[in-house]
Copies of this chain bind each other. A is one copy, B any other.
Amino acid sequence: MLRDGYAAVTSRSVEAEAGLKLHYHFGTLDDLFIAVVRRRGESNVGLLEDALASPDPIRAWWRLASERRGNALLVELSAAANHRPALRAEVATFAREVRRMQLEALDSLLDDYGIDRKVFPPALVAASLQGLAFASAYDLVAGFDTAQVEASEAMNRLLDRLEKRRGARRKA
């Protein structure tokens, strides 16, 4: 999937590559995709949980969100979900769950970071961070070259400042 794109995942290519009978073990192709989403999604929920509970939650979240392989996979799965309603529903479930976790975490974290929730409510922060990471990954996967490196370096510096501020505030 990462090598050739989701469209290259056909019953024949899977059987050739994996050396087993797809329809015997998984049922339909949809079932295969859904199994992938479920596996990956559950592991991701776990990782996000850890990140949000870590000592520098937003930085950890950002690191997770900008992770390259995971994002490439997400891009492919989202594209595949375009033509597979069942898959789309499964992806939607995880997207909602992940966003819910982020909003809940931010709700108590924003004050720690000294972020004014009137100006930057959780929904905006979450959507921006995740959107920046996703769009950067998208452009990278597609080879668009839209100054993602510069942006992500600036983001890392911004996170340094934020985490430092949080550290200072929590000490006080």
Proximity string of chain A (75-96) to chain B, C-beta cutoff 8 Å, 1 when within and 0 when not: 0001101110000100110011
A124-172 interface with B by 8 A CB criterion: 124, 126-128, 130-136, 138-139, 142-148, 150-151, 154-155, 157-158, 161
Give the interface segment out of A35-43, A53-61, A115-123.
A115-123
Interface size class of A (residues with CB under 8 A): 35 or more
Tell me if A142 and B7 are in contact (CB < 8 A). no
Interface residues in chain A, defined as those with a beta carbon under 8 Å from any beta carbon in chain B: 5-7, 78-79, 81-83, 88, 91-92, 95-96, 99, 103, 119-121, 123-124, 126-128, 130-136, 138-139, 142-148, 150-151, 154-155, 157-158, 161
